[in-house]
Chain A
Amino acid sequence: MAFFRGEQGSVKFDDAGVTTAVIASTRSWSMTIEKDVLETTALGATYKANIGGLIAGSGSVELMYTASSADETKAFITAANTATDQGVASFELFLDTTGTKKISFVGLITSADYGATVGELEIVTCNFVTTGTITTSTI
């Protein structure tokens, strides 16, 4: 049985939604995929019935600040502060980078938390939401 560890993951991003590139110094990512629940219980029924509704995802990526501007990292941490975001950015969240096991989607970054604490590495946490299809077929 194959098990995976966090260091096997990675994050790729492209704010223009064309060709994704690795976000440098990523420490962690997480994502929640949620489905609306529509109740379809018939009158007089004893038990509730539900069907699935619309699907959406949200999550966050945590990375170390490295002042990098050579790749998509700068675009990633500043995306929350860009005007007229059309929500076309491409995301790829890898569970296993070498095995290309990933969740991919188009979305937008909704917030970025910057911080600096004496004696600790500086961390930037970016939160995102999806727009449109979420692909988990390679998982």
Chain B
Amino acid sequence: MAALDLNAIRAVIEGRLATELALAPAIPVVFHNMAYTPTPSSTWVQCQVSFGNNNYVTMGTGAGASNSVIGVAVINIFSPKGVGPGASLIVAKRIRDLYVRINTSGVRFDPPIGPEVVATPSPEGYFQTQVRLTFETFEDL
């Protein structure tokens, strides 16, 4: 096997979310480095995938050696302001159920963190909660 394809991992995470949120009731989802102008008082989701620590797993410096690659998908859920958290938690449940403890295409997800309420929503004008998904995959050189 070759070194890790970071975009393949990103596609696993983002594709799964995009497919789920395209189902009824469909919710717009926007990913890292994409322009998006939300409709006021709407519900929408932002997904940001980042890679973090890389660690030695096995001995070896070339073929046959393995590394662990850890990352996080930060998923922000924006819902209308001033109407309670219900709508946000419904979306959060869909997202949690989508990733909790699954191992798909070589990407293993831990139990999700959140949804946590974000005290200062960004952008303003929404009720914002955040679900964080830590994941791990292995690079087999």
Contacts and interface: CB of A to CB of B under 8 A. Distances in A.
| Most central of B56, B59, B110 by chain A CB within 10 Å | B59
B58 interface: yes
B60 interface: yes
B106 interface: no
Interface in A76-129: 97-98, 119, 121
A111 B1 CA distance: 32
Interface stretch (A24-32, A39-47, A48-56): A24-32
A7 B64 contact: no
Given A25-B66, A119-B110, A64 B57 contact: yes
Contacts of A26: 58-60
Nearest to A98: B61
A6 interface: yes
A8 B110 contact: no
Given A7-B65, A22-B64, A28 B110 contact: no
A7 B59 contact: yes
A27 B59 contact: yes
Contacts of A8: 59, 61
B65 A24 contact: no
Nearest to A26: B59
A25 B66 CA distance: 7
Contacts of B60: 7, 10, 26, 97
A20 B58 CA distance: 19
Contacts of A119: 110
Interface in B71-125: 110
Contact of A64 (B58, B61, B64): B58
11 contacts: A6-B56, A6-B59, A7-B56, A10-B59, A11-B59, A22-B64, A25-B57, A26-B60, A64-B66, A97-B59, A97-B60
